[in-house]
């Protein structure tokens, strides 16, 4: 995913280059919209990578069991 984010960032930079070199307003605006979208995609890829890392870390940790809590919540389910 990090490669995706880097790819998206480089495409955004390229689109900004097109915008900077353009003399036509519609081409410049299109390139800036494109750069903005590439930046959004890069941010999304970075967030997805962070979330995946978090899931991997949680999966590697053993579950914590509270052996002192003997209440199973049955008191809440007593028929009236």
* pLDDT given at position 13: 98
* pLDDT given at position 74: 57
* pLDDT given at position 68: 67
Residues written for the chain: 80
Say whether pLDDT at 5 is over 60. Answer: yes
Q: Does 75 reside within a domain?
A: no
* pLDDT given at position 64: 63
Token digits for 27? 């081409």
* pLDDT given at position 58: 80
How many domains does the chain fold into?
Answer: 1
Q: Does 6 reside within a domain?
A: yes
Transcribe 11-42 into DSSP letters: HHHHHHHHHHH--SHHHHHHHHHHHHHHHHHH
Q: Does 51 reside within a domain?
A: yes
* Domain extent for 21: 2-60
How does pLDDT run across 8-62, given as a tens digit for each residue?
999 999 999 999 999 999 999 999 999 999 999 999 999 999 998 888 888 777 7
């Amino acid at each position: 995913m990090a490669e995706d984010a880097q790819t998206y960032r480089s495409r955004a930079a390229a689109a900004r280059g097109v915008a900077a070199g353009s003399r036509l307003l519609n081409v410049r605006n299109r390139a800036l919209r494109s750069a903005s979208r590439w930046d959004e995609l890069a941010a999304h890829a970075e967030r997805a990578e962070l979330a995946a890392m978090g899931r991997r870390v949680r999966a590697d940790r053993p579950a914590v069991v509270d052996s002192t809590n003997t209440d199973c919540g049955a008191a809440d389910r007593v028929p009236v």
